[in-house]
Amino acid sequence: MPSLNKLWKRQHGHDYAPIDGAEENEYLAATRIESADNAAQLIPRRRPWRSYFICGSVWGLVILATILFMSLLLSIARSLWGLEDDPDKIFPNWGKPGTGTEGLAWYPTDFLRDVVPIRCHSHNDYWRKVPLFSALHAGCIGVEADVWLFDDKPELYVGHDTAALTPNRTFESLYVNPLVDLLNRTNPQAQFYNDTRRGVFDYDPEQTVILLVDLKTDGAKTWPHVLNQLEPLRSRDWLTYFKDGVVYQRQVTVVGTGNTPFDLVVENSTYRDAFFDAPLGDMWEDPSTPDLLSTKEISTYNEQNSLYASTSLAEAVGFVLGGFNDGQLRTIRGQIKGAHRRGLKARYWDTPSWPIGLRNKVWHTLMEEGADILNVDDLKSASKFEW
């Protein structure tokens, strides 16, 4: 039989288990709380993915706000400085039924009042929404018309190829008649003005418009028709002409290119009111040689029978990669020197149109080297780019 001392120790020792149920539950609850506290210490209180999500959302909103702000600034800039001006936006109803333009009979009267002429030539001008007017509104002083003659009929059709020709798009309807109409409006017979010497640009009334006529069919047959259809301009003394050794500039200067026969252009040695587009590739002179010491004989092409001296840039210098190399620049300088010594305006066609950065660099370099007019397809860029 155990002693009282042993029973006492068993009751108060570590292995004592109370028989009261409430005390047992209290002990178990305390144990659970302690276990939960220990587990809580092992689990991070902040979950990383939640932080990343919040941080990413904030930065996303910041970037979006920045983009919207930059777009707003760009829109304001475009509004203030005309970065998105469309040369054709003043002709929204051109060609629509009921506007009077179906027969190419409607022309604006004041769309050139604030246009500054720039030395650009509208290449393939007939591709514009409104041939002639789109180029003039952009400030170009030169336009180009490809003309076709069929079966010796009097009409000269305008287009890049035969698939693009239509009966109502003719040399007269797209160029001759509009020029006559426009010059009639800029030279009104009014109380305070009764002269006929103003050109199409109010900003520079003395500036001539160069009409480059590219003959696509037989030159000997087509050229006489071109001269005949210029009569409305000729009769009003609006064509630049050569007479007795002197060139008299007028509002429109006509230049023949393509299949234009040079011998027909100079057939009349005392008078002509159309000029030739001379071959720039044949005019190279050593750019390092002073003009007075140049050995190249000046002959055949001069300012009395020609206006332009033109060539393909690709044929002249080959492929342009990132800009002109020294050899290409030497070729360009020599050709421009030869043209200027003859009194002609140097013009390069077939210039790169893409990439835009290369195109702009070529434009800038050509004009910097002395080219007289820029052959362009993108009127908008030509009128905005400082070259």
Please write the tens of the pLDDT for every residue from 43-86. Answer: 455 566 677 778 888 888 889 889 888 888 777 766 555 545 56
Q: How far is CA 372 from CA 247, 283, 302, 310, in A?
A: 19, 15, 16, 10
pLDDT band at 19 (very low <50, low <70, confident <90, very high): very low
Q: How far is CA 71 from CA 46, 75, 78, in A?
A: 38, 6, 10
Most confident residue range from 3-12, 38-47, 128-137? 128-137
Cα separation, 312 vs 304, in Å, equals: 23
Both tokens of 69, joined, read 């702000």
pLDDT tens digits, one per residue of 98-127: 776 665 544 555 678 789 999 999 999 988
Q: For all residues of the chain together, what is the average pLDDT? A: 84
Are 226 and 256 in contact by the 8 Å Cβ rule? The answer is yes
In DSSP terms, which residues pair with 311 in a beta bridge? 348
pLDDT given at position 98: 74
How much is the pTM? 0.74
